[in-house]
Amino acid sequence: MSVLLSDVVSGSAVGLRGRLWQLTAAELRAAAVEASAEILRLEAVRVAVVDELSLRPDDQVIASRGVGAWLAANTMLQVRDGKKIAALGAALRPFPAVAAGFDGGDCSFDHAVLIVAFCESPPKGMPEEALPKCIDLLLAAASGVEATTTKVRNVIATLERIFESDEIPPAEDVDRNELRIASTLNGRVVVRGDFDALTGEMLLSALSNLTMPTPAPDGTPDARSAAKRTADGFTELIRRYLDCARTGTDGGQRPHVNVHINARDLAEHRDCAATPSKTDDGMAVSDLDVGHMPWLGPLSVSQTRLLGCDCFLSTVLLDDHGAPLDAKPGKRLVTAEQRTALIARDRGCAFPGCTRVPAWTDAHHIRHWANGGPTVMNNLVLLCRSHHRLMHRKSGFVGKWAIRI
């Protein structure tokens, strides 16, 4: 490494931009990689120091009502970011393997937060002796340049599939959904929201084509920022909905959300026809899979089955290596005619005491088609979105309620 390149990483950024032209492209790439590794190292140092300070607070920390608030008051961090740093330091104490991976630069801050959250609230069906192996799997997914948040979440979703319980993953918990719309003093509107993965997938799918950069007729690139394109796309989405609301079909075709799932995993969910092979420590290591959405990644098998009750179904035949051999055109499982008949018969949600109108209902397969249930009237019933979700996954409902026509 040249002296100049060494100075780039370890020196000040003041005046640096005027000297970077002296570096080759290879040296610039090396500097970017080394600076990123240094950021990971310093981030781990900060978490360790802040955590130790939280264990031995002095008057300044006590006066600030916590080490996170103190850190924010003495740096350019926001209070929420200071508290996140302090919280991660405390959460790493019971899990030295995760702390070692984070301290060694093998795991980013955000991935460490995901891993300790899993360790603190593992699936109810997971035995304690399986936790070290799970941590190894999560750290392997979180380490290296190919590590992504989606990859880590995929491993978490697969572990939840192996040690399946009725607990709803945070990414699918609709009870946490929030949307705040408030007007400001200057007459504008601020929108802030927090949604489950499926709602987010629908929103991103709906906005996808509306937020693409649009060059000018003369070929000039789109000058709008990504945030501006998203705002324009959201405006167009609302306008199109209002323009077409009168011609829409209540409870008709869903927004185009694509979920991919192995057919055997979908069929074997809960009512397992075959038991997956296990290792000596009890971990299932067969080709168990979870649902996968193109935008937001993993989706539990329970939620995938819920969506599969009333959907367009496409089949792709794969070989042993996962290469596509054949694809069949999609077909609508519950036809418009069947839905009209269901509305005439059930007149809304069929759950006892529920008064939700047909527009707020899904067509639910009493015996799921993945388990051989036909899409016929005596195997279909209308359920509102809440009761449909309860019948599929909520603790206290699954396996304890029967549907009779």
Q: Decide if pLDDT at 265 tops 90.
A: no
Specify the pLDDT at position 314: 86
- Residue 165: pLDDT band (50, 70, 90) is low
Q: Decide if pLDDT at 275 tops 60.
A: no
**Residues 257/204, Cβ–Cβ less than 8 Å:** no
Q: Decide if pLDDT at 117 tops 90.
A: yes
Specify the pLDDT at position 64: 87
C-alpha 131 chain-centroid distance: 22
Q: Decide if pLDDT at 284 tops 50.
A: no
Question: Residues 284-307: what's their mean pLDDT?
Answer: 73
Rounded distance between C-alpha atoms, residue 249 and residue 150, angstroms: 34
Specify the pLDDT at position 338: 93
Question: Residues 182-189: what's their mean pLDDT?
Answer: 85
**Residues 221/215, Cβ–Cβ less than 8 Å:** yes
- Residue 287: pLDDT band (50, 70, 90) is very low
The full DSSP string for 305-316 is HHHHTSSEEEEE
Specify the pLDDT at position 7: 76
C-alpha 165 chain-centroid distance: 18
**Residues 338/375, Cβ–Cβ less than 8 Å:** yes
C-alpha 92 chain-centroid distance: 23
**The total number of residues written for the chain in this structure:** 405
**Residues 321/282, Cβ–Cβ less than 8 Å:** no
Look at the alpha carbons of 156, 162, 163, 169 in this order and tell me if their dihedral is positive or negative: positive
Specify the pLDDT at position 333: 87
What is the identity of the amino acid at 96?
P
Per-residue tokens: 253: 């075709």
Specify the pLDDT at position 192: 93
Lowest-confidence range among 27-36, 101-110, 187-196, 290-299? 290-299
If DSSP codes are grouped into helix, strand and coil, which group holds residue 318? strand
Q: Decide if pLDDT at 134 tops 50.
A: yes
Lowest-confidence range among 31-45, 111-125, 247-261? 247-261
Specify the pLDDT at position 256: 59
Rounded distance between C-alpha atoms, residue 79 and residue 71, angstroms: 8
pLDDT tens digits, residue range 367-398? 888 888 899 999 999 998 888 888 876 554 55
Backbone dihedral angles phi then psi of residue 74, each to the nearest 5 degrees: -110, 10
Q: Decide if pLDDT at 276 tops 50.
A: no
Query: 254: which DSSP letter?
Result: P
Question: Residues 194-215: what's their mean pLDDT?
Answer: 90
Range from 75-84, 178-187, 318-327 that averages highest in pLDDT: 75-84
Q: Tell me the pLDDT of the chain averaged across its residues.
A: 84
Rounded distance between C-alpha atoms, residue 30 and residue 36, angstroms: 10
Question: Residues 279-295: what's their mean pLDDT?
Answer: 60
Per-residue tokens: 55: 């264990």
Rounded distance between C-alpha atoms, residue 155 and residue 140, angstroms: 10
- Burial code (b: 16+ CB inside 10 Å, e: under 16) for 220-250 equals eeeeeeeeebeeebbeeeeeeeeeeeeeeee
- Residue 1: pLDDT band (50, 70, 90) is very low
Question: Residues 280-293: what's their mean pLDDT?
Answer: 58
Question: Residues 217-238: what's their mean pLDDT?
Answer: 89
Question: Residues 233-258: what's their mean pLDDT?
Answer: 68
- Residue 107: pLDDT band (50, 70, 90) is very high
Query: 217: which DSSP letter?
Result: T
Closest residue by Cα to residue 98 from 146, 54, 53, 132 = 132
Specify the pLDDT at position 9: 79
Rounded distance between C-alpha atoms, residue 148 and residue 67, angstroms: 30
- Residue 199: pLDDT band (50, 70, 90) is very high
- Report the DSSP beta bridge partners of residue 382: 363
CA dihedral 146, 150, 151, 153 (to 10 degrees): 150
Q: Decide if pLDDT at 33 tops 80.
A: yes
CB count in 10 Å sphere of residue 139: 22
pLDDT tens digits, residue range 74-103? 999 999 999 999 999 999 999 999 999 999
What share of the chain has pLDDT > 70, as a percent?
A: 87
Q: Decide if pLDDT at 268 tops 70.
A: no
Rounded distance between C-alpha atoms, residue 227 and residue 207, angstroms: 12
Question: Residues 285-307: what's their mean pLDDT?
Answer: 74
Rounded distance between C-alpha atoms, residue 276 and residue 268, angstroms: 10
pLDDT tens digits, residue range 13-32? 888 888 888 888 998 999 99
Question: Residues 211-221: what's their mean pLDDT?
Answer: 85
Radius of gyration of the chain (CA): 26
Rounded distance between C-alpha atoms, residue 257 and residue 267, angstroms: 20
Specify the pLDDT at position 329: 79
Range from 103-117, 247-261, 309-323, 365-379 that averages highest in pLDDT: 103-117
Per-residue tokens: 70: 């103190």
Specify the pLDDT at position 272: 33
Closest residue by Cα to residue 44 from 116, 99, 117, 96 = 99
